[in-house]
């Protein structure tokens, strides 16, 4: 085995140049640095609050892999004839996105388990997903191996086998990126036997929308990469789909959209499940998180704003009814002062109104007592005068 030898086929994006690729790659490098810092911050804050969400760590790992990828492309642009650097850059481009496929597949699995726990928690279903994850890792190792081999051989038969393996694995990766979509559709086709088991925060339909949106983008990028491999062109006569615009749009642009979608929509809250979940009912049990509320926790979430808090609203109505019963009967109308009710009356205003009513009642009773005393005195005076008149007449 000799080499390394430069590939004779055109690759996606071609050979990077300092004038064109360096500024674009530097922008994506900065974006992936921000993504890595964001997801690591989310991970550390959640761990501090007693909440473990490993997908944030996986997103941080993906962003770090893309930082290395961008760095290698910058180095390759400065050393365009250095074949080992070109090999490393191509390997990192192909390998990093696998992490996003696995994360989105995990989210789809949790949605299916929440709506169909009667079969999604079966042992065969869990083993099927474990086999999928293992096959993705094995495929990644295989594609790295054959990619390196293509640079170190001139044997046409070996090159043909390596290219065939690359086509198969690229197609398989496109299938893995597409798999969350039929899983989400499956939840609508299969009849439900139990109510949906809510987990995390936010509306359930939003979780479904996040998975479908990201799966569509990831499948678009993976399908484009797989399709270009089936139509090779010479390195000196590339097709339009080998252009740099296609490379940055169908690779880095799609990936950075998914990275910031996961961060902005807080998938760490929406897709969080209690630690140790291993069967039906575990998703909805108490997660045991420390009660340390942040500013975002004080803002009403989707469930409070929209239509998924009917039970909570009914419970609040029952509590208000109990408070009204404990308060006792209302004051009779004749002892009430005419007042104008205002929305949002404070407790101090209520106390002042009650004090005014009490004082008025006491004053009314005092006036009645004085009138009764005067009447009794007048009656007594009349009796005395009558007695005096009778005595004088006698």
What's the pLDDT tens digit per position in 248-297? Answer: 999 999 999 999 999 999 999 999 888 767 777 777 765 444 344 444 44
357's CB contacts (< 8 A; 6+ apart) are: 331, 335, 336, 337
pTM of the model: 0.71
Highest-pLDDT range among 183-197, 294-308, 309-323, 342-356: 183-197
What's the pLDDT tens digit per position in 62-105? Answer: 999 999 999 999 999 999 888 999 999 989 998 889 999 999 99
Mean pLDDT of 223-240: 91
The structure tokens listed for 325 are 């019963």
Domains in the chain, please, with CATH?
A: 21-270 (1.20.1070)
CA angle 172–178–184, rounded 5-degree value: 140
Does residue 4 have a cis peptide bond before it, meaning omega lies within 30 degrees of 0?
Answer: yes
Instruction: Write the DSSP assignment of 219-284 as a string of letters.
Output: HHHHHHHHHHHTS--BTTS--GGGSHHHHIIIIIIHHHHHHHHHHHTTHHHHT---TT--STTSTT
- Tell me the average pLDDT of the chain: 79
* pLDDT band per the 50, 70, 90 thresholds, residue 146: very high
């Amino acid at each position: 085995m000799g080499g390394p030898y430069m590939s004779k086929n055109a690759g996606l994006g071609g050979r990077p140049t300092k004038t064109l690729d360096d500024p674009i790659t530097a922008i994506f490098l900065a974006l992936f640095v921000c993504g890595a810092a964001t997801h690591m911050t989310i991970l550390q804050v959640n761990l501090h609050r007693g909440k473990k969400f490993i997908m944030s760590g996986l997103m941080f790992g993906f962003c770090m892999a893309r930082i290395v990828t961008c760095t290698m492309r910058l180095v390759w642009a400065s050393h365009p004839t250095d074949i080992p650097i070109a090999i490393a850059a191509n390997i990192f481009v192909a390998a990093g996105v696998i992490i996003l496929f696995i994360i989105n597949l995990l989210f789809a699995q949790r949605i299916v388990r929440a709506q169909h726990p009667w079969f999604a928690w079966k042992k065969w279903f869990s083993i099927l997903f474990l086999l999928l994850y293992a096959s993705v890792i094995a495929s990644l190792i295989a594609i790295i191996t054959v990619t390196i081999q293509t640079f170190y051989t001139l044997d046409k038969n070996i090159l043909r086998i390596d290219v065939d393996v690359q086509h198969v694995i690229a197609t398989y990766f496109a299938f893995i990126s597409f798999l969350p979509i039929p899983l989400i559709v499956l939840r609508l086709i299969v009849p439900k036997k139990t109510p949906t088991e809510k987990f995390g925060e936010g509306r359930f339909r939003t979780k479904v929308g996040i998975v479908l949106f990201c799966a569509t983008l990831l499948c678009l990028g993976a399908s484009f990469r797989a399709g270009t491999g089936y139509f090779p062109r010479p390195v000196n006569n590339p097709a339009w789909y080998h252009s740099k615009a296609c490379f940055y749009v169908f690779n880095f642009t799609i990936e950075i959209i998914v990275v910031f979608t996961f961060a902005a929509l807080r998938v760490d809250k929406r897709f969080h499940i209690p630690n140790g979940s291993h069967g039906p009912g575990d998703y909805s049990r108490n997660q045991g998180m420390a009660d340390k509320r942040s500013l975002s926790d004080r803002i009403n979430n989707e469930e409070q704003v929209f239509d998924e808090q009917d039970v909570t609203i009914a419970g609040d109505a029952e509590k208000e009814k109990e408070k009204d019963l404990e308060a006792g009967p209302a004051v009779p109308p004749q002892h009430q002062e005419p007042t104008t009710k205002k929305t949002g009356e404070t407790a101090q205003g209520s106390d002042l109104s009650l004090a005014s009513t009490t004082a008025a009642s006491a004053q009314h009773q005092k006036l009645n007592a004085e009138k009764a005393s005067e009447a009794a005195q007048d009656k007594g005076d009349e009796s005395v005068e009558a007695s005096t008149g009778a005595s004088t007449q006698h």
